[in-house]
Structure 1
């Protein structure tokens, strides 16, 4: 039951965020502030939910290798998205959420096995905080680049489905996977998230809301860390 709560948070936050960006009003300063908050929350997720657990279960060299591999894969994919869709198309954020989200949600599904209510609530809250503004901004940029609302919304719904499936697969199919294999998955996700912060999340936040982006990052970090400590 708790696994489905988190899956609902994964899919619901992306779908609601995309709908907000496509059909609602989203002033650019507010969008930048929310994306910066999401970045702050993701800093906590990278360290506390991905790197630290990976480092406990695998040699440091292996963790660093897969972390670097995740970053390289994201950067290559991000450049391909920019080349074929344009740097302001919203595709970069979609690529970021998909590439780091699949291994992260596989690991998340395994981590939820036997998890208590407080842990599930903290994870669901962190996911909502990070996914919703990114989906809203990415969907709006897709619309601004010329894509129809229906196509853009469909892409985000499909992404939500893929990430939800990854979490379910992790929970039901990977429960017996070795700790070292799971550590590699977590490290790869951490590298992809870190690269997405540097190339997509923080630059976009500063561009839209350069006066308060730093405060928003700190606020997102505070909220996510508080949830993690629950």
Structure 2
């Protein structure tokens, strides 16, 4: 199951890149899908990564870990966008990679002794997030005069990196103390929230305007439903 989940989640980047390079999608549809994915990933980050650690009584360190993840992503994203002069498509690729590494580490950790539906809630949210983001990023990179082959190779490399992060989370961190695992999950959750605020929701609103709010709520409902099934 571990390999299947990781392949599906990371494969979303490749599917999205192929979609962006050869498929057709209107701006409003892309914005709606990005917002839906963002809503699903936001609630999953809270319910599957952050809140379980707070229930164990480590509230102070949990909050510090969440903020550390958010600050780390914001700083790295700033350096990529402002200092390295990455274009929009390249910047989105870097953003997905930056928050995807701790995110996929947490996904790998969540596969250790966790209910299948709980894993499904997180992995489905990550899949929904990766798919439209990769499609939009690949299209923007293509519009920036990069060849289709180069764009596809870049997104393939990102997919491989995130797959390795998930495998590392599952196999290398299996014997780590539960408290440290909790902080890793919370760091990932903070990075996810920051990436949604910086990259995902602004992009969704710019393409789909006020319908993006409805789409985000719909994504949240889907993630809540999957979480409820896992709790049942």
TM-score, normalised to structure 1's length? 0.91
Q: State the partner residue of 1:149.
A: 148
Contact 2:16/2:134 (<8 A) preserved: yes
Report the more deviating stretch, 19-28 or 94-103: 94-103
1:101-140 mapped onto 2 (5 Å cutoff)? 101-140=100-139
Contact 1:15/1:160 (<8 A) preserved: yes
Q: Name the Cα RMSD after superposition.
A: 1.8
How far apart are 1:211 and its partner, in Å? 3.3
Q: State the partner residue of 1:37.
A: 36
What stretches of structure 1 of length at least 5 have no aligned partner? none
How far apart are 1:10 and its partner, in Å? 1.5
Shift of the 69–114 alpha-carbon distance from structure 1 to 2, 3 Å rule, reads closer
In 1: Cα distance, 2:45 partner to 2:172 partner: 24
Question: Is 1:48 aligned to residue 22 of structure 2?
Answer: no
Contact 2:41/2:122 (<8 A) preserved: no
Question: Is 1:192 aligned to residue 209 of structure 2?
Answer: no
How far apart are 1:227 and its partner, in Å? 1.6
Q: State the partner residue of 2:92.
A: 93
How far apart are 1:174 and its partner, in Å? 1.1
State the number of aligned residues: 228
How far apart are 1:120 and its partner, in Å? 4.0
Question: Is 1:18 aligned to residue 22 of structure 2?
Answer: no
Q: State the partner residue of 2:165.
A: 166
Shift of the 122–199 alpha-carbon distance from structure 1 to 2, 3 Å rule, reads closer
